[in-house]
A and B are shown apart, each in its own frame.
Chain A
Amino acid sequence: MNPTVAIVGAGPAGLAAAAALTARGVRDIAVFDRDDTVGGLPRYCGHLGFGWEYSHRLEKGSAFIRRLIGETDLSRAALYPRTTVLEMAPGPVLRVVGPETGLREIRPKAVLVATGVRERPRAARLVPGARPERGVLTTGALQQMETRGIPMPGPRAVVIGSEHVAFSVLLTARHCGLKIVAMAEPGNRVLSLAVARPIARVVFGVPVFLNTEIEEIQGRATVEAIVLRTPEGLRRIPCDCVIFSGSFVPDAPLSEEAGLAIDPRTGGPVIDQFMRTSQPGVFAAGNLLRPVESSGVAACEGARAGACIAAFLAGHLDGTQAASVFGLGEGVRYLVPQRWAMDAVDLRDARPLRPSLRVSSDMEAARVTLATDGAVVWQGRRRRLLRERRIAINLDALPSGRPAAPRVDLVA
């Protein structure tokens, strides 16, 4: 086993990269995934809502994954589920362990890191109270339990958070006999679509408490209740489980331990527009880059990374970054890519770059400006800039060659 390209993580980004690579004739690709089946998080989601940006179809998570595998020439790309990349070192050199691979070192020419995101669990949110053995979990764990046929901790659940994934629980709950009795969001509005709150209340009969923190979780062996601090005062809600949803963080330990430059704003590796990290031959894509875009965007990034890696293998693209770092104005939470490289590479047949731009706090309206050397090269007017929503920006307006001091600003 001596692959040319190693892909770490077989979620939407990793699988789309494998498809793009095989479509460009690259052989000897190994796709590693540490779970017992490939597919990443969408494989646990049996409801619609996946892949739109990639395929312009709205599919179930599992169907979207099947589509991505179907697009991959499996004679050129081998999928290795149950296989963990333990370490990554410059070279790149990977230490891999799995039942099929055994424990071995591999030296591929290129690596794509696509290890995705996870939800922040209860402890990381410093939620006080009792710590029952069961019944406090994340949406991801709940969806896996449903898929794997594990009985739920009890009928009554309270969901914390209001991102899309929180409402995905409403759909999952129907299949597995859970009754959502309340949803609680610390912020002043629902972070999923604005209609989600009335839908939750009217269609599912679930009250959504806004501006609400958790006072404590109660229970010994199992969860008995949650006490919420709502604007109207403390409210004790008897329940059997508390589901912490959303609040995603990149699962970046492999990247961190490998010494890739990490952007403290995103928690993921720093990349340039060709998906290159700070280490030669190491690329990154998908929600590892930042929390969080849709599965369709992650797949688009993976496909773009696949095209970039093919260009790198063909000698059209350097393995390293020689790039300028974007300056970010006040109110910009993060921008991915963080760097803009001088390489002039023809990637016209590749998926376009989809920059991830986010604001630090909600804004009613703003002008987004892209400048280099103090001169604005692109600007766009945006209304209702919400913290969790992607803001479109056209980085391709930057002049070719190395732009000096590129920066992005928000002008109210």
Chain B
Amino acid sequence: MADYDVAIIGAGVVGCAIAREFSRYHLRAILLEANSDLCDEASKGNTATLATGNDTPVGSLERKLVVRGHQRYLAEGPSLGLPIRMVGAMTVAFDEAEARVVSEEVRSSRAEGFASVELLNADGIYARVPHLAPGAVAAAWAPDEGIVDGFSTAYAYALDAVVNGVDYRDSAPVTAAHRRDGVWTLTTPGGAVSARLVINCAGLRADHVEALAGYRDLTVKPRRGQYIVYDKRARRLVDVILRPAPTPTTRGVYIAPSIFGNVLLGPTAEEVPDPDDRRVTPEGIAQLTAAARRMLPALLDEPVAAMYAGMRPATEKPEYRIIPRFADGWLTCAGIRSTGLSGALGIAEYVAGLVVPEVVKAARKEAIKPARVPSLADPNIARPWTDAARVAADPFYGEMVCHCERVSVGEIRDALSGPIPVHSLKALKRRTRVMMGRCQGFFCGARVESMLRTGKP
């Protein structure tokens, strides 16, 4: 008898979404995360855009699932407390050759059902982005592209899953996997877990997990993407996602507003051998600033708040690698390269559809308990300190610890006492945005450390 019907390895955004999907069924599921916090690998470093999928390969599974993921995010994100801003994406052409590329993108998008995509001329472009570098001749305008909070998205899915009965275990890297009598036994430092079906959502380490089960038909090729985060002051310059016209080899460096009120510049695209090599390099910085100089030169005068490098869990093939191996009680869900955040809910629905009822027989639950994460968006009117009644009732919401991102004592306390524990500074940062602003902890670093250690303000 197995402990669980389903064990999901990897609490990135895809693993968390799949866990949430299975929480809707009468079955036993567990989500295992190798690190001390969820969303700690590929899912933590991206552009945090909600893509429509119009730039994914025509006819691909990726396109189908991103389209569905986008649709579901708009429908289900708000009830989870997740903020969304539909800012739109503009792919800009600065010469005739690029103009041909973007008008072809508009034509094919519309032909494929992305009816809102349109071609802009220079007037339309500069009306939307007055600070854009001069010389733009045409642009593809995709108004249904949005920006979201990538950290809170994974957290919201995991929280919803846990509230609805899925077990979650962190610091639980799977070090061995053995199958006997139709049951997998997964070894972790905290003890073994047995399950009838294993879903490998291990992202950057998907090939290692595959190898534990004897599968060697997949190799992860980590692709690093470096980013520069500009201070909130820069948001006056741009409030759409700006993309250069793509070339056959790259989609290029984006300039995107973040849901937290910053402006992101990135990513680079570099194949690196080590999935943990999240260095920011002089070459990367030079490539990013060159891209800004070409599209939005005024950005370079703005102060930088942060830099980071994300790692895309690409594989040797340019497609999603969702591989049912049900005869073995295994399902591979890998190669979710750049579109995991947008596609996760589509992927989760697709995976659950493969599994239930053919592999695991389970009825859908009738009642779902609500789960909601605090919105960290800026500008926002939903923070506790924007509500006089909440501050009066709980004065800790009135006392700021992090001044740049305006995080109160009460919000930190809430994060530290949530159902999914915070064990590390980085987890607390992702849950609340403390120390993520322009001062990077100059004002609040010591106090945040103190709260993390003592749990007291």
Contact = CB atoms under 8 A, between A and B. Distances in A.
B441 A138 contact: yes
A99 B441 contact: no
B403 A97 contact: no
A22 interface: no
B438 A103 contact: no
Contact of A119 (B228, B442, B449, B450): B442
Interface in B401-431: 403-404, 406, 424-426
A121 B453 contact: no
Contacts of A103: 385-388, 391-392, 398
A76 interface: no
27 contacts: A36-B447, A82-B400, A84-B400, A84-B403, A86-B385, A86-B406, A97-B385, A97-B391, A100-B395, A102-B388, A103-B392, A103-B398, A118-B442, A118-B443, A123-B305, A126-B307, A128-B282, A128-B285, A131-B279, A133-B424, A138-B440, A138-B442, A141-B445, A141-B446, A144-B447, A149-B450, A150-B453
A124 B305 contact: yes
B281 interface: yes
Chain A to chain B: the 3 pairs with minimum beta-carbon distance, closest first = A99-B395, A144-B446, A121-B440
A124 B304 contact: yes
A129 B282 CA distance: 8
> How big is the A interface, by class?
35 or more
B371 interface: no
Nearest to A96: B398
A330 to B, nearest CB: 21
Contacts of A256: 233
B400 A129 contact: no
A145 B440 contact: no
B424 A150 contact: no
B306 interface: yes
Interface in A120-142: 121-124, 126, 128-131, 133-134, 137-138, 140-141
A201 interface: no
B276 interface: yes
Main secondary structure of the interface of B (DSSP, over half): mixed
Contacts of A149: 450
B352 interface: no
B232 interface: yes
B442 A123 contact: no
A128 B446 contact: no
A251 B276 CA distance: 34
B232 to A, nearest CB: 7
B399 interface: yes
A220 interface: yes
Most interface-central of B280, B305, B308, B446 (chain A CB within 10 A): B446
Contacts of A362: none
A231 B450 CA distance: 40
Contacts of B391: 97, 99, 102-103
Nearest to A44: B446
Contacts of A251: 439
B389 to A, nearest CB: 9
A220 B400 CA distance: 30
B303 interface: yes
A131 B285 contact: no
A131 B403 CA distance: 22
Given A84-B406, A124-B303, A137 B441 contact: yes
B278 to A, nearest CB: 7
Nearest to B403: A34
A149 B399 CA distance: 21
Interface in B79-95: none
B229 interface: yes
Contacts of A396: none
Contacts of A121: 439-442
Contacts of A97: 385, 391, 398, 400
Nearest to A216: B279
Contact of B285 (A34, A119, A126, A147): A126
Contact of A123 (B276, B284, B307, B453): B307
